[in-house]
Chain A
Amino acid sequence: MASAAIFPLEARGVSVSLGGHAALCDVDLAIDARRRVVVLGANGAGKSVLLRTLHGLIQPSAGSILWAGSTERPRAQAMVFQRPVMLRRSALANVRYALAVNGISGAELECRAREVLARVGLAKLADRQALVLSGGEQQRLALARAWALEPAVLFLDEPTASLDPAAAAEVERVILEIHEAGAAIVMTTHNLGQAKRIADQIVFLHAGRVREQTSAADFFAKTSSPEKSRFLEAELP
């Protein structure tokens, strides 16, 4: 697993404008190595845009993304989306392809591919076509592709949103194992129970602005703003 030398990951005064719409406004936050950060907020709050901007898929209109104080974007990061693209080949070949694209070959490629498939519980399905796997299995395969590259930080954009509870629980298990192996986790979810299970830190977004960045325990124990109260009341029973 990559070292902590790329942390903290910071957003400093980051604003993002998409199609004339201000998706993020003057965002400041910091993420340390091996954190489990969950980004919460209502639809349209800017959660996915924030993840994509941190990952480098979207350039800030203003401000900077800094990795250990540098604007140099490290490669030891990966992102998994709600509906990952499955290539028309076996589960094992999907992982092999990801490794090959990233310059890994030979015995190391084969060893890593099979090892991560086993870790995500797909060893027996290694030769099955990825496109016939269930939604949960496809998501675990996407996590395996990411894990194979040993990222220091893994971004997850609503990774269980379209899964049934059992499949979601399996995906959560894999996410926590990837964290145990040394990666920081930064994810979005609408599931507050999942946020409590996974997060040690919460970033709460409202209308493109960070309203709170605090420990998960404090976030769920304290009321700090009307927006947060409305968000939690709408989500919690």
Chain B
Amino acid sequence: MSTTDRLVRTRWWLPAVSLLLGAIMFAAFAIGGETADGAQSFAVMAALAALFFFGSRRSETLGGLGGPARDERWEMIDLRATALAGMVLIAVVIGAFLYEIASGEDGSPYSQLGAIAGVAYVLAIAAGRLRS
């Protein structure tokens, strides 16, 4: 296994994804009749794309987020950051679910989101065990 084959993304990758997401958000807002909000969303995503594109050469963090500076160390950083973000999100979902049921509601949509997260985790564990 080569360590060079991990440097596969270019500095265009994340800016392009940001612009694409901005365009999709604009389309979704436009379909819902909120074109002005869609334009604002696209402008924010375009600004992010520019930040990732121009900042990737000056900042290792932006370069790693954007792709070109990624290597095995960045993969580890990304994996840990993703796991932490997932834990934070699940904790918030559980907290919101508890708040909803304590307020006399049925817990939706947090119960479903929590169930999806739990199932995804178990499936990922099973797949990881089979592959290793």
Q: A and B: partners?
A: no
Enumerate chain B interface residues (CB-CB to A < 8 A). none
